[in-house]
Amino acid sequence: MDWKPDWGLRFRMFVTMFLLFVLYIVFASVITAYVGGGPSLFIVLFASFSLVQYYFSDTLTLKSMGAKTVSAEEYPQLHASVERLSQQADLPKPKVAVIDSQVPNAFATGRNQKNAAVAVTVGLMRTLNREELDGVIAHELAHVKNRDMMVMTIASFLSTIAFMMVRWGAIFGGGRGRGGRGGGGIAVAILVSLLVWIISYLLIRALSRYREYAADRGAAAITGNPSALASALMKISGEVDKVPDRDLREEAEMNAFFIIPLKSGVVGKLFSTHPPTEKRIEQLRSLEREMTTI
């Protein structure tokens, strides 16, 4: 496998995390000035809980998605594919899980390369042929290789901390606000909360969309077959369009984990965690042409 460092991805990760760090420093300073102290104990407790959640992220995510870890005896071909592709990606073999859902999709989770899991739905295995399924699995392994889960978890964690700080300060600290004088401090906290949430949301979504492009390129490097993943994306997209709205709403909250997001209206598309499928396929076709000319 000709795996080359994706410096574009690394640069965007660094810039996004740096901007988020600066944003939260400014946010904390404004909250301290206008709302006052008070949330320190809560932040410590919430941070401790989040660290535990992060440490067990693979188990918690699998359970929340209804994914069941399966053995090689239960799904021999799936295990064989994950093991072979993991070796090609120079990764430890992750846990293998299956979701009893007819919605064709897949995701990867885990805090690092040694503690990861790859899950696929029954619908995905039914929809794709072997090469296409390999492309999807390779895409998820590329996420593991790029440590995307860790970076996105940290970015989201900081956003949640900021949101909970505002809520705590507005509820319990507003009356003690030094600079805002009571109600004024609460109003400032609400305004700052909105601005922080919007900026964080846009930064994290931008990073998430780029990581999908990078994972697609990584899958092409692992399998040497970009057209298989392109074909898989087209099939998955077509099958998702047929899924009833009720089933989509039940799973829409986990969009960031999936290889193709479940549609959730105009706003959902505008702030999607994934780039348009058409653009991803276009990139894969371009990679295919590059490989054939070498």
Name every residue whose Cβ is closer than 8 Å to that of residue 195 and which is 6 or more positions away in sequence.
none
Alpha helical stretches, state H, the chain: 7-34, 40-55, 57-64, 76-88, 122-127, 130-145, 148-168, 183-223, 226-240, 245-251, 265-270, 277-293
Q: For residues 266, 139, 247 and 256, what is the CA-based torsion angle, rounded to 10 degrees? A: -50
Rg for the chain, CA atoms, rounded = 21
C-alpha 237/C-alpha 242 separation (Å) is 9
**Residue for token digits 């999607």?**
272
Q: β-strand 106-112 against 115-121: which pairing, if any?
A: antiparallel
Calpha distance 252→231 (Å, rounded): 23
Taking CA atoms, 44 is separated from 32, 48, 50, 152, 163, in Å, by: 16, 6, 10, 21, 14
Looking at residue 102, the DSSP 8-state letter turns out to be S
Catalytic site positions: 140
Task: Tell the burial category of 258 from Cβ atoms under 10 Å away from its Cβ (0-12, 13-18, 19+).
Answer: buried
